[in-house]
């Protein structure tokens, strides 16, 4: 079973003609309210892709917490969240006509998820985390999982300074291009992946948007190997949640025993489908949709 530990936010999504510049006010044509937060998103993506998954996060006592719990429950996620005397986290998302987005997050209860809140890991095979909860919590959870023989997957988003202690506990690191550059500095992407792997992770994946994804797999049968998976070609409506969809579907496939290239292909297909629909959790595809997707490489 997969445990996702991370943030849960209520998403306020506004459609706009273009992303506002500093000091600019842009009128939106509509807005929606739905479940979000990188942790909750990845748990929902896992479950919809067919994974057996539980979610650990921190919520407030407000009505937004109920919305998030309902989304988790309806997606088949086991909810292990704690409730705190803090407001539920919120994200304010602007989505342009081109499908690009700009996101502002108020952490709220997410900042109160503490190291001692981790449940017993018996029965879990994978722990998935991101960086929208306190770094000391991420470190403690990773160390505990490593000691328990649970595989640790870290989506290092949003970008942050990560300690060697944390990176040495990570089995699979997933980043986008900006997060990879923040972690190891600029350079040619293959060399960036090598530098990231030297920090501790045996496998490192960088997602490249419309270019697909690229991995460095130090566990490949014949030694270090690069894995390239092209993007799936779709008409983009909204990229919100696509990265979280990728991670959730990826871990689902890996938990079922898929090799890394096959898991990346499955994840890329799921993320592409998510881009064709508005919102984060509302856009995430089911297992049947992923397997039936008539998509072609970009």
Please list the alpha-helical segments (H only) found in the chain.
38-48, 63-75, 135-147, 164-167, 177-184, 189-198, 242-255, 260-274, 287-292
Q: For residues 273 and 202, what is the distance between their CA atoms, to the nearest angstrom?
A: 29
Peptide bond into 101 cis (omega under 30): no
Candidates 268, 295, 271, 297; CA nearest to 285 is 271
The catalytic residue among 171, 217, 238, 244 is: 244
Backbone angles phi, psi at 175, to 5 degrees: -140, 165
Q: For residues 131 and 49, what is the distance between their CA atoms, to the nearest angstrom?
A: 23
Backbone angles phi, psi at 296, to 5 degrees: -120, 150
Active site residue 217: no
Q: For residues 140 and 155, what is the distance between their CA atoms, to the nearest angstrom?
A: 16
Which are the catalytic amino acids?
Answer: 244
């Amino acid at each position: 079973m997969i445990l996702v530990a991370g943030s849960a936010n209520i998403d306020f999504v506004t459609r706009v003609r273009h992303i506002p510049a500093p000091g600019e006010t842009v009128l939106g044509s509509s807005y929606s309210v739905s479940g979000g937060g990188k942790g909750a998103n990845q748990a929902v993506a896992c479950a919809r892709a067919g994974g057996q998954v539980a979610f650990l996060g921190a919520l407030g006592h407000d009505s937004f917490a109920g919305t998030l719990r309902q989304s988790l429950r309806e997606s088949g996620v086991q909810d292990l969240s704690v409730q705190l005397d803090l407001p539920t986290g919120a994200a304010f998302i602007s989505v342009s006509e081109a499908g690009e987005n700009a996101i502002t997050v108020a952490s709220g209860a997410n900042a109160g998820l503490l190291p001692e809140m981790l449940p017993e890991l018996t029965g879990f095979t994978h722990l998935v985390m991101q960086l929208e909860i306190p770094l000391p919590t991420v470190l403690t959870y990773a160390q505990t999982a490593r000691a328990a023989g649970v595989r640790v997957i870290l989506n290092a988003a949003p970008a942050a300074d990560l300690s060697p202690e944390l990176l040495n506990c990570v089995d699979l690191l997933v980043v986008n291009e900006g997060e990879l550059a923040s972690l190891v500095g600029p350079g040619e992407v293959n060399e960036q992946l090598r530098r990231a792997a030297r920090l501790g992770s045996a496998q490192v994946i960088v997602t490249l948007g419309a270019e697909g994804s690229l991995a460095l797999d130090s566990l490949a049968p014949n030694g270090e190997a690069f894995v390239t998976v092209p993007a799936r070609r779709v008409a983009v409506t909204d990229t919100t949640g696509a990265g979280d969809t990728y991670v959730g579907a990826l871990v689902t496939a890996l938990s079922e025993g898929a090799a890394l290239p096959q898991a990346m292909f499955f994840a890329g297909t799921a993320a592409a489908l998510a881009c064709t629909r508005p919102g984060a959790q509302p856009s995430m595809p089911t297992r049947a949709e992923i397997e039936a997707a008539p998509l072609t490489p970009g």
